[in-house]
Amino acid sequence: MNIFNNHKRLYITAGLLFAFLTYLTVIMPAFKNQYNNLPLPGTKPLSGDAKAGKLLYIAEGCVGCHSQQVRNVEMDKVFGSRPGMAADYANIGRTSIWQNTATLMGTERTGPDLTDVGNRQPSIDWNLMHLYQPRSVVPQSIMPSYKWLFEMKINPTKNDVVVSMPSQFLNGETGKLVATKEALQLVAYIQSLKQTPLPQGIIANDFLYKKAIKIELGKDGSASLDGKALYEANCVACHQANGEGLKGAFPPLKGSQIVTDGNLELYVDIIMNGYDARAEYGVMAAVGTNMNFTEKEVTAIINYERSSWGNKGKKVTEEEIKKVMDFVKIKASASNQ
Ligand code: HEC
Ligand code: HEC
C-alpha cells in the first residue's frame, strides 16, 4: 500500500491517529471531569497568609503524617461531618508554573486527618503551643516539635504574638516565647481547613460500616450519650484527661466552681460560645457551636464533668439543658447584632 512506502504519509497518519485517541481518552474526560466537579458554592479561597502557610505545610513535610481526606467509612466520622467528595478539591489550582496541584490528600495517618481541623481545633493559642511543643498539650504525642518557627524575646513589642507556654517546656530559656510570621501563617492555613457545608437540600453520602453507638442507661432506664467519649473528642486537648488543665494556658475543670455548683447558664454559655474572661488563660473557642452540639450532647458532657476527677456536682437533665440552651442562643444572637 502507498502509505507504507511513503514515510511522510505514514508519520502524519500515525500522528493524527495518536492525537485523536489522546483527545478521546485523556483530554476530553479530563475536561468533562472538571466541569462535573465545580467547587461547592460556599468554598472560600485561601487568604494570603493561609496560602503562604500551605507552602510551609508542604516544606515542613506535614503531609508525611497527616491526610486530608475523609473516607466514607465509619471510622473516619471523627474527622468530618460528611465523607469527602471530588468537589472539595476542585478549587485547588497549581502551586506555581513549576509545581503541580497540591491537594495534600496524603497517604499516611500517623496523626489525625486534618480536613476539618479548623472546626475541630479553632484556637490559635492551642495551635501555637502544639506546634512549639506538641507534648505540652498532648502528653503522649509523637508529633515533632517545630521550635524553629518561634523565637525567644526578652522584651516583646506590642505587635509580637506571645505564646503563653508553661515554663517547664521552655528548656530553661529566658524571655517570652514569640511566634514568627511563619508560625502564624502555618496556623492560618490549619485554621482554614474546614469542610464546606453542602448546599441546602443536598444530602451527603452516608458513612459505611456503622458501629453500634455506646449508650449508657440511667437508673430510670433512660438512654443517654457517652459523656466521657464526648469529653475526649472535644475538650481533652485543652482541659486534659485528668481535668487539671495546664497552668498558664487552660484552667482546671477539676474542682472548678463553674463546673460543680456555678450557674448553669454560664456553664452552657461557655461550652456553646467559648470563654475569654481572664488574662492568665488563653481563649476558649465556641466549641459547642462549631460542633453543632445538641442538648443531649451538652447534658452528657456536663454530667461527665460533674462526676469525674472527684467533682461532685448535681446531675442535670436534658430538659433543664434545653431550656438553658434556648436562652443562651437568644442571648448570643442578640449580642452579635
Ligand atoms: C511524625 C508525624 C507527624 C508530623 C511530621 C506532623 N504531625 Fe501533626 N500530629 C501527629 C500526631 C501523632 C498527632 C496527634 C497527637 C497530637 O495532637 O499531638 C498530631 C496532631 C496534629 C494536630 C491536631 C489535630 C487534631 O485533630 O487535634 C495538628 C493541627 C497538627 N498535628 C498539625 C501538624 C502540622 C502543621 C505539621 C507540620 C508542621 C505536623 N502536624 C507534622 C503527627 C505528626
Ligand atoms: C482550645 C482549647 C479549649 C477547648 C478545646 C475547650 N476549652 Fe474550655 N476553656 C479553655 C480556656 C482557655 C478557658 C479559660 C478562658 C478564660 O478564663 O479566659 C476555658 C474555660 C472553661 C470553663 C470554665 C472553667 C473555670 O472554672 O473557669 C469550662 C467549664 C470549660 N472551659 C469547659 C469546656 C468544655 C466542656 C469543653 C469541651 C466541650 C471545653 N471547655 C473545650 C480552653 C478550651
| Four-residue CA torsion sign, 246, 251, 256, 259 | negative
> 37-59: per-residue pLDDT in tens?
889 998 999 999 999 999 999 99
Ligand nearest to the CA of 108: 1
Confidence label for 109 from pLDDT (cuts 50, 70 and 90): very high
Cell digits for 217? 442507661
Ligand nearest to the CA of 276: 2
Please compute, for residue 71, the number of CA atoms within 13 A of its CA located in the half-sphere on the CB side: 12
> 123-153: per-residue pLDDT in tens?
899 999 999 999 999 999 999 999 999 999 9
Residue 246 Cβ < 6 Å to ligand 2: no
Q: Calculate how far, in angstroms, residue 71's C-alpha sits from the geometric centre of ligand 1.
A: 19
Confidence label for 262 from pLDDT (cuts 50, 70 and 90): confident
pLDDT exceeds 70 at position 11: yes
pLDDT exceeds 60 at position 30: yes
Residues in the chain: 337
Confidence label for 291 from pLDDT (cuts 50, 70 and 90): confident
Q: How far apart are CA 316 and CA 299, in angstroms?
A: 7
Confidence label for 280 from pLDDT (cuts 50, 70 and 90): confident
Instruction: Specify the residue for cell string 493524527.
Output: 16
Q: Please list every protein residue whose CB sits less than 6 Å from any atom of ligand 1.
A: 57, 60-62, 64-66, 110-112, 117, 120-121, 127, 134, 138, 141-144, 146, 186, 190, 237
